[in-house]
Amino acid sequence: MTFTEELRRENDDIFQAIFDHPFVRGLGEGELPDEAVAHYVKADYEYLNTFMQLYGTAVSQSKKREDIAFFQAQIAFVLGDEIHPHHNLCNYIGVPYEELQGFPLPPTADHYRTHMKSVATEGLLGKTIAAMLPCPWTYQEIGQELKKEFSPEPDHPFYEWIEFYADDSITYTTDYLLKRLNEEAEAASSEDRKLMKDAFRKSCQLEYAFWEMSYTIEGWPVGEGVLK
């Protein structure tokens, strides 16, 4: 069993909870509250800004040109391609994408961003990948699960969203990160492998929490958050 196969087995409880979350189920069923969708897009826009910065950190931690090229290409992918599922959601609620940009992150998303940045500052590529991997991996499996269960046609409200995350481009991203994490884990100490597992599970927990944050329209206890 590879390191990432261990990760998937050990975190299956969270993956299954994500598949069963009402926001994710709503994507498959084609019906979600407008306010929840807007809250998700606002948070995900800022979250992806951080994710691109983390790809930049991964570039600085890379020793192989192949890795540098991959992480650089992922920044371009987020900028040029991952806006499409956002547009699908915006069309569903009838709100221009530009009107949902530049908002402070809710507490959960802010926690998630801080967690990943904290792991990345430790300087090891394997840990950085471990903290980032749950995002593309869970979305890939969500897309595949929803496509398999609901077989959406082009008139499905979230057809573009589901097709995007079930597509081979997401599989390519996930597979590359899985391969590199396996390689980094194989060369790492037992202590660092444990830290990779901890970072991965916490990110999985926060992936679930991000869906919950969106569905419940989570906000700060007093006043607004801070955009940074």
Report residue 193 as tokens: 């492998």
Report residue 219 as tokens: 């906000």
| Digit-coded pLDDT (tens) for 62-76 | 999 999 999 999 999
Report residue 148 as tokens: 């398999």
User: Residue 173: helix, strand or coil by DSSP?
Assistant: helix
Angle at CA of residue 74, ends 73 and 79, nearest 5°: 100
User: Residue 81: helix, strand or coil by DSSP?
Assistant: coil
| Digit-coded pLDDT (tens) for 105-157 | 999 999 999 999 999 998 899 999 999 999 999 999 999 999 999 999 999 99
The residue count of the chain comes to 228
Q: C-alpha distances in angstroms, 119 versus 45, 99, 152?
A: 21, 32, 38
| Digit-coded pLDDT (tens) for 75-93 | 999 999 999 999 999 999 9
Angle at CA of residue 188, ends 183 and 192, nearest 5°: 125
Q: C-alpha distances in angstroms, 174 versus 36, 100, 129, 130?
A: 27, 27, 11, 12
Nearest CA to 46 out of 14, 84, 86 is that of 86
Report residue 27 as tokens: 């994507």
Angle at CA of residue 158, ends 25 and 4, nearest 5°: 60
Tell me the backbone φ, ψ of residue 156, rounded to 5 degrees: -65, 135
> Cα separation of 143 and 19, whole Å?
10
Q: How many CB atoms lie within 10 A of CB 21?
A: 19
Nearest CA to 55 out of 132, 113, 139 is that of 132
How confident is the prediction for the chain on average, in pLDDT?
96
* pLDDT value, residue 227: 61
Residue 226: pLDDT band with limits 50, 70, 90:
low
> Cα separation of 85 and 82, whole Å?
6
Using the predicted structure, report yes or no on whether residue 169 has a pLDDT greater than 90: no
- The one-character DSSP state at 104 is P
Residue 214: pLDDT band with limits 50, 70, 90:
very high
* pLDDT value, residue 71: 98
For the question of whether the overall pTM of this predicted structure is more than 0.85, the answer is yes
